[in-house]
Structure 1
């Protein structure tokens, strides 16, 4: 680890760093909620009810539990807003900058795209539980969940279009969002292909998550930077930061899918193993030159059903190959690369504090 990485990590290992990052997520939820809620309420009543259920605003009957900002953690919107503030601070050479309407709009668009992908992925993956309760398709049916996802994607593009001023930079933002959706769909298609064949190289698995997950992280940071006034070079650096952070996020998420605490993840123990998901730790284990890999290949190649009673044994096999350690190290490498990109645009480390906190939260959230 070089001195830049050490400085970056040491600053974010201070007492209360995770609490500060969690506060940023809560602030992002509050900042985007009015615009997000207004967008969802533009939908036909049936789909508004399904979307609101998916976001956690009310139950299946549309009855609110009084929680205004339920649902996911709002990590991607937080990255949009933090990137916009960092860029404005860099440009103005001052300590803090308020959020702007373009930044909020971009954050909401990113959150809508994220939830479009969740609604569709849950259907394709057959997931029954999301955020500690039935997924939208399990509650309302496959067709309704797919259509709701389609409408969220349409809303995302509409919102971004409504905020455009026809400048070259604004048109660039629209293209970035569209290209991101293309990459996400490509990544999801690759994921489905991996599950069907049960075979993949490590490189193929990493390429898959670069599209399925990292593309939207990159988009979030790039759009945020553009909303903050970034030029093309600066926006590209923010994109690269987001890409590496997204890779780290998904690698950690894959680890949690096998070794995570259900009370934290909201999913059953070994959920990814039960569904025979070809996550990166599984692919790394299958491609290792170990006795455990041979046993795993037998299980996956013969399409042997993995039941609840088998999860612990399969988990031990994967860990015995060293896959858990290797994937954790890869996540850290992507974190350090993200750190270098931030240093490029913020050498004195004063404007990007929020992004640093969020980055550390991503890589340490399994603890």
Structure 2
């Protein structure tokens, strides 16, 4: 049980049997009239099914889009996605990403009464942006491995990695731009892609009479701008010793929360959701995204390299000022002083040093602080699902929240 400011508490369920109180429509029925209760599937199974269903729809479209890239851009992008080796040899069972973002786009569309097919194009665009950010992050952070093999920049060089990331970002705009306009000019990367007409309506009227696709384009551009802002702050923090928790949380909201907010918002918007539905799902995605970053930062210190595909203590090795580190550094504890001293020096750290630093972060309260904040955010995200008027697919969306809190990769 975690306590939110204002005293409201939230139960973060180990399963979802009690996560949707008062939403089953059985209140007031005589006891004998109630159907026998059924045990819902575990959250991990629900999420797996949603991700698998999204992959069936979205991955072929991603691959078709990426394979339109020319030359080495296509080769390096396909290598990043795990489809082939650096020489183009196909990979039989590629290591995949988590697939959360496309699944959330499709679920948000269904939550407002749309069909998964309504949201394939924005799901592709969101996943392309996500992978653009991963490729560039690996360059900026100097990370040599991702998904248990060398990163794009280690194989193809920094310059090509930057170009590949840029190409994926360009493709993302190209894909989303096909929502209600003419296709890409002949010879362009997305030439011949079908277009999806989206008509103006009451929600669009709130945005100056623009069509939903234009509202979507602004939402998309804002999210990417926030992502870049957050990444810029993250890099700047590496050269500051006075970063506050509030600054770090704002950075994480932009760097990670903005894209998950956009994923849920685009799915709802382009499936015909009302202004209120779109706003609720965007807020759910933003809370989920910040909680995701908190757990990601925990894994960056204490994650199992066999599961994460990254070296143990990777964030400490690079002296990254992640959320648990900043929370520890600002705690005023004796462990914080030792941690601050270690971060002030530039000499290489061996495995024993890194283990001691991880212990110092935990002793200073950084680990517990991150866990508590993640629980608060998940509780708030669940609240957003269970207000009136009701949304569909709340079981699946709640499962994503529960699984995210306990993820190991």
The TM-score, its normalising length taken from structure 1, stands at 0.92
Answer with 193-202 or 235-244: which moved more: 193-202
Output the CA distance in 2 between the equivalents of 1:132 and 1:45.
25
Q: Does 1:31 align with 2:57?
A: yes
The structure 2 residue matched to 1:20, chosen from 46, 67, 85, is: 46
Q: Does 1:200 align with 2:243?
A: yes
Rg bigger for which structure? 2
Q: CA deviation at 1:282?
A: 0.3
The structure 1 residue matched to 2:281, chosen from 238, 263, 288, is: 238
Output the CA distance in 2 between the equivalents of 1:142 and 1:366.
29
Q: Does 1:55 align with 2:81?
A: yes
Task: Tell me the SS of whatever aligns to 1:11.
Answer: coil
Output the CA distance in 1 between the equivalents of 2:9 and 2:316.
37
Output the CA distance in 1 between the equivalents of 2:12 and 2:231.
36
The structure 1 residue matched to 2:116, chosen from 96, 99, 102, is: 99
Distance of aligned partners of 1:17 and 1:186 in 2 relative to their CA distance in 1, 3 Å threshold: same
Q: Does 1:248 align with 2:273?
A: no
* Aligned residue number for residue 271 of structure 2: 228
Q: CA deviation at 1:35?
A: 0.8
Matched residue pairs, number?
356
The structure 1 residue matched to 2:342, chosen from 299, 307, 310, is: 299
User: Can you give the 5+ residue segments of structure 2 that lack an aligned partner in the other structure?
Assistant: 2-6, 19-39, 181-196, 201-210
Q: CA deviation at 1:229?
A: 1.1
Q: Does 1:363 align with 2:363?
A: no
Distance of aligned partners of 1:17 and 1:73 in 2 relative to their CA distance in 1, 3 Å threshold: same
Q: Does 1:214 align with 2:257?
A: yes
* Aligned residue number for residue 86 of structure 1: 111
Task: Tell me the SS of whatever aligns to 2:239.
Answer: helix
Output the CA distance in 2 between the equivalents of 1:3 and 1:274.
38
The structure 2 residue matched to 1:325, chosen from 347, 368, 373, is: 368
Q: CA deviation at 1:194?
A: 0.4
Contact 2:301 2:314 in 1 (8 A): yes
Task: Tell me the SS of whatever aligns to 1:71.
Answer: coil
Output the CA distance in 1 between the equivalents of 2:9 and 2:327.
29
More helix by share: 1
* Aligned residue number for residue 168 of structure 2: 152
User: Can you give the 5+ residue segments of structure 1 that lack an aligned partner in the other structure?
Assistant: 89-96
The structure 2 residue matched to 1:11, chosen from 9, 16, 33, is: 16
Output the CA distance in 1 between the equivalents of 2:136 and 2:274.
34
Q: Return structure 1 stretches of 4+ with deviation > 6 angstroms.
A: none
Distance of aligned partners of 1:36 and 1:315 in 2 relative to their CA distance in 1, 3 Å threshold: same
